[in-house]
Structure 1
Amino acid sequence: MQLPVSPGRYRHVSILLALLGVISGATWLPAQEDAQRQAARVRISLPIAGSSDVAIQQSIERALQALPSVEPRPVLVLELRPGRGESADDSQFERCLALARFLTSTEMSRVRTVAYLPESVTGHAVLLPLACEQIIMAPDAQLGDAGIKEKSISGTMLKAYEEIAGFRNSLPQAIAVAMLDRQAQVFRVNDRQFVSGEQYEAMKKAGEVAKSEKIVSAGELAIFTGRDLRLKYQLISHLAESQQQLAQQLEVPDVDLQLDYSLERDWKATQVQLSGAITHNQVQQVMRMIQSEVASKVNLVLLEIDSPGGDPVAVESLMNFLLKQPDEVRTVALVKGVAASNAAIVPFACDEIVVATDATLGGPGGYQYSEQGTVDVRNFLIQVGENKERRWSAWAAMVDPQLEVANYRHKQSGLTALFCQEELKQQIAPEMWEETEVITTPGQPLQLTGGQAFDLRLADAIAADATDVARRYGVSGEISQPVRTWAHQLIDALAHPGLAWFFLFVGISALIMEMQAPGIGIFGFMAAICFGFYFWSQFLSGTAGWLEVLLFIGGIGFVAIEIFVLPGFGIFGLGGGAMILASIVLASQTFIWPQTDYQLAQVPYSLANIFIVMGAILASLMFAKHIVPHVPYLRETMLHPPDEDAAEEQHRREMIVDLSHLVGETGVAQSQLVPGGKAKFGRELVNVTCETGFAPRGAELIAIAARGNYLLVKPK
């Protein structure tokens, strides 16, 4: 669709006009949007120990260099968050104090420092929020317990906390000390004052206390939730649960709060291609390549996308895989060409989205969701948006032609954002947002150029190729590209449906042939090899696991029991056959029971495996009957029915034992009959088979017929 000139293009025009103004000597005032307060965000991983304070200070200094010295002062957000599997409690006092003094230095005065606590901060890391001008917390995040790991509190520590808290006054000194010292008390006096126990007693004697409340008692460390600090005590400025809410509270563009990862570490990059129609096998290949590169210490993954879309299950699998990457691995989606249909939503799961100016994002492509499918994918995108702290409406509109998305402007801050009605209602004070323009066309999925996506703040940056992205991250070495070796090619060949079906057909045929042969021979070996390749290929494709393998082995075992051990009702045979069929069907699909329209469309392909099994059984029976007897070597491996003379001789030998005189007699089972076993009639111990299939040991039996050398019996 064609969009009107976007705000980003006005920015380009403003730069040109400003340059013309300098040349001509004229004065030109930029638009209000360009005069918005600028911001940057630096993430601080806790605990702060070893030399991590030096690295954090260097990151902050680099962020300072990137921010201009203008009015209003730029905002520097320090996001404090415990590292994966680590605790902020282990932060070292000396390291935290050094950082806190740096944050209160003259060098930091040209920016407004904001401590953002999306998670709890405890231990000496508490010094960092105290050293900032403003504190913003998530409602359930906690701040306090600074002395939790200290056995004793020195005077140096107490003075340090008083010094840092007194410099910024972001929290009262009394509360800061109570977070460190268990002996301290804090009183809330006359609603607005927070004083220590000594100060409280002095004010009380002076008659200055009209109303008081003890909020921290001796013997405990002070710790407060963001909700209490804001709503109960009015000690912090705002609450925010996401990057978008944080940007609204600070009145800065949320794109400015994207983390600049080039400040953080040395990057080792790899480039992986996702091109053409998206299939399950292709996604498995991409995930295997990324896993291999990450295992070799790559920490920056560039996923270049040029695709019309495809298999929705594969798309969702890839997005979940990208979401689960370790914290130390950064994923960047690069769209240089076309990312249409559901290929357009893959970048939404990456840490950063980079587009070429003339790239195409969204629009019709290789897959169109049904009505239920659009609901499913929208719910999925909402979850991804919560994980990545991104707005999801525009991305959902790229695969849902009926979803209306508009550009909104915040009445107070002037910030802009894209919302559908559902997401708008989820905002804080949705009435503060006013609609400016609808960017979708009814009945058509949203389609944007790369430049439009960047101007609408759906993309984080513009880049022509992977080299530009690497330069943005300060990658020092070359960008590696996973090479497809013979092992990858073998895996792809084994995962091809046609080859998998061939292994299945040959394996079933060989298994049937083996059941007609004495002992274990060449057909059993062939069956084992074919089934091994079949399940291996499905495992590599991501459709089979241990469940399918165990079902198949268990089914074969039950069928063998039915044939060789417990001939009777057929329960083991029928159950084993059902297990074999279930394992084959499940090994060919990624779901157990179809729930979406795409899964329903895949059911016929899964059922095709059953017809292959049936065909293999018929073919093997025909082969055993009409071909094997005429092949010199193979005919020696098969059991053949006896001719007429041999059958007569066998019958004569069986009739040597005549048990007809016991018919009608009563005997006692000497073993459990399941259904065969031993029974005693008078003094004779004979082989019997129970007509009902089972009789316990000691049961009284009646012989109802003689069958050569055994009796057919039933319980009395």
Structure 2
Amino acid sequence: MWKQRRTGDNEQFWTTGDSAHYRQDAYNAGMNKHRHRPVSHRSADAAFRRVGIAGSACIIASLWWLSLASYAPAQEANDAAPKQTPRGYLIDVPQPITTRDVDQILSQLTRLSLAVRQTAPNSDDAAARRASVVLRFGSSGMPSNQPTRDVESGTPGDEGTQNTTALEDALKLARAISGRDLHRIRSIAWVDRAVRGSDVLLVLACESILVSSDGSIGDATEGEPAGDETTQLIYQSIAKRRSLLASEIVKGLANSELAVARVRLAEGDTRFAVGEELRQLRREGAIVEETIWSEAGQPLILTADQLRELRAATAIVDSVDEVADRLGLAGLRNEDVDASGEAVGALLRINGPVRRDRVRRWQSNLAATIERGETNTWLVEIDSPGGYLTGSASMAAFIADPGTSIRSVGGYISREARGDAALLALACRPLAMHPDATLGGSGAEAINPEDVRGQRELIALIANATGRSETLLRGILDPSLPVHRYINRRTGRVRYAIPSELAEEALQGEEDVATEWKREQRIELADGLTAQAAIELGLVDESADSLQKAAQTIGLADVPNQLSDRGLVRWVERLGRNDGLAFGLLLLGFMMLSTEASAPGLGLPGFIAMLCFAFFFWTKFLAGTAEWLELLAFGLGLVCLAIEIFVLPGFGVFGIGGLFLTVLGVVLMSQTFVIPRNSYQVNELTQGVWMAIGGMGGLVIGFLIVRAFLPQAATATGLAMESPPTDMDRLERLADFDHLQGKSGVASTRLRPSGKARFGDQVVAVVSDGSAIDPGQSVRVVAVHGNRIVVEAVED
């Protein structure tokens, strides 16, 4: 198990049963690296003597009682909130190292240091305040057929070109690694193969050393003049900052003309002697026992066993997993070193649903940058619900392994990367995420377990290329997988696995699961991950509130130009994703359609409605959510409504069918599926239905607007009829007898009760008020109702 002891600014790790110590921040060259003394108890003893036996007993009893009372709650709290094991970074150091390599490595280390300062500036966890960076020297994974590079320019050279690292370049990098500017970097040298020449200086500049079984360091002056005093001073100065090796060993490494031997003196001391000192001891006969490590004129080579014997190497490790276990890290993320100079980027925006034709277009645009050879960095911005797992897996595999000409592929999730679109995001490394964005969760395509199993080979390729957990990638796509967090009981290493698969490993004899791994909580992936949760799982590298910051993470000064594509297509695709614009087009279109139906013959409202509906379909078509089925349903719906309004009014079969087809067309244009199969699709269906209902509400709004405002509009005064005034109503009557009201006349005929009466020269039909009136009797008009005149008899 890893244990930790702090002494001032010095932090040291060691393993139980292992005398090898792992040192951090050992900037004090005079410290004794092989001895650990406990804190002095003199002041405590004096205090006990002053207090007395009784007082000491009371203090001890109180502390004992408090420890018992607080043990259980503290243990529960620790179980409830397990400490997150940090992740480290792996950088393969090329051999030889050129000036451009030095600049690139320093840029990477500086970026990692800034990232630590931004993410954990005031963290209580010491591991969180420093980034563990493993510098692998002599990696067996580096291509052996790589052409020789010119040391000065870093370009391929002739066979006779010097194939060693220049001392000046090694010194520049060694000073930076061991200096205070990179104090947030915990540097670990992993000697994976033989390290010779000035590269040895870089190993000595690191805080600690890990070595493989075949690893060794030595012959530090290869390619440099032997015995140069300046070279020896440089090695002594850098080695003194870390105190990993005795000064005599460092002298032997820096000067192959000196003999190095381990001697046991007559006084009983055992130490190293070198050069003139060794010869002096031999002449004096003070040496009881002598072990030659290197003869004069032969370079000193320190093997893995010798480095362990010197306690310079923490442990012997032969794989990346062993390195992570030894350092107490959850894993190592590979940071590629490229010597191509300044980053030249290209931006690819993956927005909206994923479709077959769009995948082909995206991949073609990226491949064009490789063919032109002008770009070495890709920046991919993702805001997509997915929709095509096969295409996303193929595209993600291409992004994860683009070839040697592309040195970095950074990603940024601006809003969401759902469903299979999460695979596109996770193929990028490094990957940044907006604090409010979502990674994973149900998307535009309902992905079943069989689909994920069919793409497992590509998922494994993406996981290996990016250093992410294959199990987590599969769990993002298939939330039904029971992904759990496991912690190695011996090393504290964290892994994510499925219990059934872990059990299969045990049956194959790879390890004892119950003994080696402690199973913890299940990782919930069904609803997607927030930025913080994704960072804790190691799926996302950092949180960034803008694309600009994501670009700076991969070494770009600014957001690069977007890959070549029709600007109109990009603009329309962006408009097609705007739900507010789509709703506005529908509302305006139906309003104009209602206006045309209420006042046929205007023409302009109908033309505007046609343009709105056409633009609505066009945006949805280019956005990838509308095809011919949706167009047919929407168009037939509008035709049926027109037949119901203009040809066969009465709101019959054509009216109901037209409404249904119109709503169906609008809903289908707002989604990429027909029947919802997950929560995301249900939500999209609900939004589409409400959009259609709101758009149909434009019919009512348009009708009300026509009734309220059209008669008063200046441009419509010649088209709308005004209500007739009172005098016009009177003129249009068939007969008007209001002027006879109250006049007197003579009955011309008998009124029983109807008859005729004369009023001056005018004879009109009248009705008596109920009594019979004889001819010649005087009458008076008491009421006039249109052409009905009521009279009564008047006594003479």
TM-score relative to the length of structure 2? 0.46
Compare CA radii of gyration and give the structure with the larger one: 2
TM-score relative to the length of structure 1? 0.50
